[in-house]
């Protein structure tokens, strides 16, 4: 009997301890920076915390006895949205997601909301607990970065990515409807002289004016865009039954654009006058299997023929220009042979830390022909991407990098350096890619953390789930993962939260414009650095060339730097010499 009473007493003490623990947790939750509200089983609010009041503007007295919908509903979500929410709560006792709500002031804001049902001993719902936080800053950053994916920040016109997408859609529509359209490639003549004479600010002002004149000259159904620099593109949709009609319309548009863009542009007390070269390519022949990139190249070739003829004119792509295309096919054949013949070389570009010490390098491939001529990477890398040769080329670079890391392990000065390897979208989507990385690590016996894989955002656009699986497998192997060219693609912040990246690489185009153009570029860079640090990722800036850029980046917390300031891509032996001759790192 006495022993039974002791057991009951011990159980009572344990129950009391558990209750005190739960009360402490509840108090801690209510003191958090996240908004918390508790309702009864019928959804009427019985309690809110201080963060709820700060975020929504409603006091505890305002909220008590009312439903969250009465207080906060913004009108952005339909009945089906809330029905699905309540179905999840009924079936699983939990719901989580993004919701747009309304503050007491009337402002609508986004929040991340988690709702849990609290039941009694028999499973009956007694309360609902909702915890949320304001994600306005994230949505604003996403909107700014995602806008960069499709529109040129300087002119507001469509960028290359959006233009190619619309062009590919127009090509498919032309074939389906047996219609013809046209692409106009515009290049401003001697634009560099404007930057050299009047400065980059004047050059930007001219480009903005040109962009606006192009926009106002075209019809609503035409698509104007800026490819970069002083190159613009105009897409005329496939609405013409005959090729000749499309050609006539394209010539008419080219004439109108020429007349509009050749008008003097006021600058301070002077007038800037420009001419332009226009290349035109027609599309719509059902026997023509060109893709958007091929059509763009055809228009570019036509424009180049105008340049060769003296500039300031219009030319159509014609069969004589196919010689250049045949030359491209020959290049493709030569590249396939070069991989087997050992004509490729790995060059390294140093990456330094905040103290200026080399901590690693990016591995870049160079093609040295048997006759000693060096083929620029800008010629053969895009070709490899388009033709599928990027797969054997990428495997070759991966093996070379792993072998180099193995050799460095025997050198105390080089043993800690990492090597960064670019991974193309096709390479990443290859089901055997992860296995090949694992084989390279095992074959050469190198620490996985020293191998860094650079991956662009384009790999996520088609199949996020597959990308998540592949990245997870690579992360499990221990290799470092870098998100390359951040800010130029979709750049969803959700990717950074979901996917196991260790490094964010700021695209060199943003770095090049630091302090030269609008404050927008500076703001984007500081936002990316702050975001990376917040997510405990390292941030590397590409394309650093000046002391001013270096100072700006380091002062805002950038971890790693890469660019001509620290060395151009160089042969392996030259890189190793540079790494060995740098001052020794001071010891404590």
Rounded-to-integer distance, Cα 385 and Cα 370, Å: 23
Are 421 and 503 in a shared domain?
Answer: yes
- The Cα angle at residue 131 between residues 125 and 134, in degrees rounded to 5: 150
Looking at the DSSP assignment, which residues form a beta bridge with residue 226?
Answer: 232
Q: Is there a domain that residue 19 lies in?
A: no
CB-CB contact of 510 with 516 (8 Å): no
The answer to whether residue 11 is domain-embedded is no
Give a yes or no: residue 17 inside a domain.
no
CATH number assigned to the domain comprising residue 93:
3.30.450.20
Say if residue 363's pLDDT is above 80: yes
CA distance 57 to 247: 62
Give residue-wise pLDDT tens across range 230-262.
Answer: 999 999 999 998 888 898 899 999 999 999 999
Q: Is 114 found in the same domain as 64?
A: yes
Residue 568 token pair:
């151009």
Q: How confident is the model at residue 25 (pLDDT cuts 50, 70, 90)?
A: very low
Residues facing residue 482 across a β-bridge? 454, 503
Has residue 322 been placed in a domain? no
Distance between CA atoms of residues 440 and 437, nearest Å: 5
Length of the chain: 588
Record the tokens describing residue 532, joined without a space. Answer: 């990376």
The pLDDT of residue 19 is 44
Q: Picking from 99-108, 212-221, 300-309, which range would have the lowest pLDDT averaged per residue?
A: 300-309
> Are both 237 and 263 inside the same structural domain?
yes
Q: Residue 570: its pLDDT value, please?
A: 95
User: Do 170 and 257 share a domain, yes or no?
Assistant: yes
Instruction: Of 360, 515, 385, 375, give the one whose Cα is nearest residue 453.
Output: 360
User: What is the per-residue pLDDT across 316-329, written as a single tens digit (0 to 9) for each?
Assistant: 987 666 566 567 67
Tally the domains of the chain: 3
- d(CA 291, CA 551) in angstroms, rounded, equals 44
Tell me how far apart the terminal alpha carbons of the chain are, to the nearest angstrom: 68
Other Cβ atoms closer than 10 A to 67: 14
Residues 312 and 374 placed together within one structural domain of the fold: no
Q: Characterize 468-488 residue by residue with b for buried, 16 or more Cβ atoms within 10 angstroms of its Cβ, and e for exposed.
A: eebbeebbeeebbbbbbbbbb
Tokens read off for 544:
């650093």
Which whole-number Å values give the CA distances from 378 to 159, 172, 374, in the listed order? Answer: 20, 28, 12
Per-residue model confidence (pLDDT) at position 254: 94
Within a domain: 6? no
Q: Is residue 109 part of a domain?
A: yes
Task: Give CA separation, 89 vs 45, 68, 116, 326, 396, in Å.
Answer: 17, 15, 7, 63, 52
Considering 317, 335, 367, which residue would you say is the last residue of a domain? 317
With beta carbons less than 8 A apart as the criterion, state whether 519 and 139 touch. Answer: no
Most distant CA atoms of the chain, gap in Å = 111
Per-position DSSP letters for 381-437, written without gaps between them: HHHHHHHSTHHHHHHHHHHHHHHHHHHHTTSTTTTT-EEEEEE-HHHHHSTTHHHHH
The sign of the CA dihedral 91, 92, 96, 102 is: positive
Same structural domain for residues 245 and 343?
no
Contacts of residue 228, defined as CB under 8 A and 6 or more positions apart, other chains included, come to: 160
Domain of 284, CATH number, reads: 3.30.70.270
- Strand 418-423 relative to strand 358-368: parallel, antiparallel, unpaired? parallel
445: exposed, middle or buried (Cβ count in 10 Å: 0-12, 13-18, 19+): exposed
Q: What is the pLDDT of residues 552-570, one digit of tens each?
A: 999 999 999 999 999 999 9
Quick check: helix, strand or coil at residue 356?
Answer: coil
Q: Residue 471's pLDDT band (boundaries 50, 70, 90)? A: very high
Given the DSSP bridges, would you call strands 451-456 and 418-423 parallel, antiparallel or unpaired? parallel
pLDDT at 136: 85
- Residues 365, 511 within the same domain: yes
Chain-centroid distance, C-alpha 561? 19
Please give the structure tokens belonging to residue 142.
Answer: 């996403």
Closest CA to 452 of 416, 421, 474, 423: 421
What pLDDT sits at residue 462? Answer: 67
For 259, the domain range is 144-317
Q: Are residues 281 and 215 in the same domain?
A: yes
User: How far, in Å, CA of 296 to CA of 482, rounded?
Assistant: 31
Q: What angle do CA 453, 459, 463 make, to 5 degrees?
A: 130
Q: Which residue has the higher pLDDT, 483 or 33?
A: 483
pLDDT in tens, 488-520: 655 556 677 778 999 999 888 888 888 776 677
- Look at residue 297 and tell me whether its pLDDT is greater than 50: yes
CATH number of the domain at 576, please.
3.20.20.450
List, for residues 381-440, the tens digit of each pLDDT value: 888 887 788 999 999 999 999 999 999 999 999 999 999 999 998 899 888 999 999 999
How far is the C-alpha of 262 from the C-alpha of 251, rounded, in Å?
16
Provide the β-strand partners of residue 514: none
- The answer to whether residues 43 and 128 touch, using CB atoms and an 8 Å cutoff, is yes
| DSSP β-bridge partners for residue 39 | 45, 128
Instruction: Note whether residue 10 is domain-resident.
Output: no
Other beta carbons within 10 Å of 58: 19
pLDDT given at position 518: 61
Of the residues 134, 157, 180, which one is the last residue of a structural domain? 134
One domain, residues 301 and 353: no
As to burial, measured by CB atoms within 10 angstroms (0-12 exposed, 13-18 middle, 19+ buried), residue 17 is: exposed
pLDDT band at 588 (very low <50, low <70, confident <90, very high): very low
Mean pLDDT (the chain, rounded): 86
| Residue 361 near residue 450 (C-beta atoms within 8 A) | no
Domain's final residue, options 134, 157, 186: 134
376 shares a domain with 473: yes
Q: Is residue 21 part of a domain?
A: no
Query: Cα separations (Å) of 565 from 80, 177, 541?
Result: 57, 53, 12
Q: How far apart are CA 15 and CA 21, in angstroms?
A: 10
Alpha helix ranges (H) inside 542-586: 547-555, 572-581
CA neighbours closer than 13 Å in the CB half-sphere of residue 387: 18
- Dihedral sign from CA coordinates of 141, 143, 149, 151: negative
Does 428 lie in the same domain as 447?
A: yes
- Angstrom distance (rounded) from CA 441 to CA 149: 35
Relative to beta strand 374-375, strand 358-368 is antiparallel
Residue 18 has pLDDT above 80, yes or no: no
Cα distance between residue 402 and residue 387, in whole Å: 25
**Is the same domain home to 290 and 341?**
no
């Amino acid at each position: 009997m006495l022993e039974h009473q002791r057991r009951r007493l011990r159980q009572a003490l344990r129950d009391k301890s558990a209750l005190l623990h739960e009360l402490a947790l509840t108090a801690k939750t209510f003191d958090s920076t996240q908004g918390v509200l508790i309702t009864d089983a019928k959804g009427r609010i019985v309690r809110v915390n201080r963060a709820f009041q700060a975020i929504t503007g409603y006091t505890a007295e305002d909220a008590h006895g009312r439903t969250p919908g009465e207080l906060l509903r913004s009108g952005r979500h339909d009945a089906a949205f809330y029905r699905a929410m309540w179905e999840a709560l009924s079936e699983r006792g939990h719901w989580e997601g993004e919701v747009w709500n309304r503050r007491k002031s009337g402002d609508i804001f986004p929040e991340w909301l988690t709702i849990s049902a609290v039941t009694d001993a028999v499973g009956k719902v007694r309360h609902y607990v909702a915890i949320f936080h304001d994600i306005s800053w994230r949505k604003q950053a996403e909107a700014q970065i995602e806008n960069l994916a499709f529109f040129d920040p300087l002119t507001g016109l469509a960028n290359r990515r959006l233009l190619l997408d619309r062009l590919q859609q127009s090509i498919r529509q032309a074939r389906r409807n047996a219609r013809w359209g046209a692409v106009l490639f515009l290049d401003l003549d001697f634009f560099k002289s404007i930057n050299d004479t009047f400065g980059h600010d004047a050059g930007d002002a001219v480009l903005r004016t040109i962009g606006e004149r192009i926009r106002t000259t075209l019809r609503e159904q035409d698509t104007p865009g800026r490819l970069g620099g002083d190159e613009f593109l105009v897409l005329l949709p496939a609405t013409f039954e005959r090729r000749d009609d499309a050609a006539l319309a394209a010539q008419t548009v080219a004439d109108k654009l020429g007349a509009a863009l050749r008008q003097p542009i006021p600058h301070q007390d002077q007038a800037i006058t420009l001419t332009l070269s226009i290349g035109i390519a027609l599309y719509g022949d059902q026997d023509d299997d060109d893709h958007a990139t091929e059509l763009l190249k055809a228009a570019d070739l036509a424009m180049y023929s105008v340049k060769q003829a003296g500039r300031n004119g219009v030319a159509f792509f014609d069969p004589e220009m196919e010689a250049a295309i045949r030359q491209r096919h020959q290049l493709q054949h030569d590249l396939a042979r070069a991989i087997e013949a050992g004509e490729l070389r790995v060059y390294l570009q140093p990456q330094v830390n905040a103290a200026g010490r080399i901590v690693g390098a990016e591995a870049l491939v160079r093609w040295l022909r048997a006759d000693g001529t060096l083929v620029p990477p800008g010629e053969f890398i895009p070709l490899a991407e388009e033709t599928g040769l990027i797969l054997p080329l990428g495997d070759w670079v991966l093996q070379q990098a792993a072998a180099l890391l193995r050799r460095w392990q025997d050198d105390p000065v080089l043993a800690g350096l990492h090597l960064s390897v670019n991974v193309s979208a096709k390479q990443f989507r290859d089901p055997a890619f992860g296995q090949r990385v694992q084989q390279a690590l095992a074959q050469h016996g190198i620490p996985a953390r020293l191998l860094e894989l650079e991956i662009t955002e384009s790999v996520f656009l088609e199949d996020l789930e597959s990308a998540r699986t592949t990245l997870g497998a690579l992360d499990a192997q221990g290799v470092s993962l870098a998100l390359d060219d951040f800010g130029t693609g979709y750049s969803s912040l959700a990717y950074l939260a979901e996917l196991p990246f260790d490094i964010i690489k700021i695209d060199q185009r943003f770095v090049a414009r630091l302090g030269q153009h609008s404050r927008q570029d500076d703001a984007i860079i500081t936002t990316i650095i702050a975001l990376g640090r917040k997510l405990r990722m390292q941030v590397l800036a590409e394309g650093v060339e000046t002391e001013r850029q270096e100072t700006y980046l380091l002062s805002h917390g950038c971890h790693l730097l890469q660019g001509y300031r620290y060395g151009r891509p160089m042969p392996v032996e030259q890189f190793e010499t540079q790494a060995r001759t740098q001052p020794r790192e001071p010891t404590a």
